[in-house]
Structure 1
């Protein structure tokens, strides 16, 4: 992925080993929790584990400040996907909790492959909830 891709916010698969190391050093992963897949969006990450989604919002100039949002799969009631168009290159995946009318987490994605993978991961994880 080049610098231009990063500036445009193009999402890609994140290196699983680096993600596990980052989450372990921040003490975010639970004992026995396994990372299934992770997606990089410029500096931010969306991590799918076997128990939950962890959204990491990297903030500030240095990127040392981070906001972690943890969403257990059992609390997700539904999700929606809005595909990209000709002029709007972003696809958006909205994740809703319980009876919420607004999404708790909105992932903006520019890679068709990432949209498909995220949608499949959510569908697989929610079918047993």
Structure 2
């Protein structure tokens, strides 16, 4: 994924081995990264056990938030592709019996959100 693509809000698939090394302190000893997508500094990581959303905060990105969502707690998810007037694509994830989505991720590209939705479907349903 190029820098321009990242700045436009397009997520791109990134090397799972590199992400696994980067998240070594967060992952369990037996946990493996199956797929990872990067969005500028942030990451959407699919392991064999959970979904990890990595949010680098601030100008320097030193402060980092790691949101961990076990696949068994994801009750449903929704993809909304972009249209003529609404240019953003969205992926919404609900946890257990929550009424509102626990997480809403926005993308500038339908291609990005569809690839991430496929990885999520494989992890949750497969």
TM-score of the two chains, using structure 2 as the length reference: 0.90
Distance in 1, matches of 2:18 and 2:88, equals: 26
Contact 1:12 1:111 in 2 (8 A): no
Distance in 2, matches of 1:103 and 1:12, equals: 23
Distance in 2, matches of 1:14 and 1:111, equals: 16
RMSD in angstroms over aligned alpha carbons?
A: 1.6
* Unmatched runs of 5 consecutive residues or more in structure 1: none
Contact 2:10 2:112 in 1 (8 A): no
Q: Which moved more, 1:90-99 or 1:6-15?
A: 6-15
1:54 CA displacement: 0.2
1:38 CA displacement: 0.6
- Deviation string 1:50-96 (CA, Å, 9 cap, x unpaired) is 11000000001111110010000000100011111123332111010
* Unmatched runs of 5 consecutive residues or more in structure 2: none
1:109 CA displacement: 2.3
1:107 CA displacement: 1.8
Contact 1:11 1:39 in 2 (8 A): yes
Distance in 1, matches of 2:41 and 2:84, equals: 25
Residue 15, structure 1, aligned to residue 15, structure 2: yes
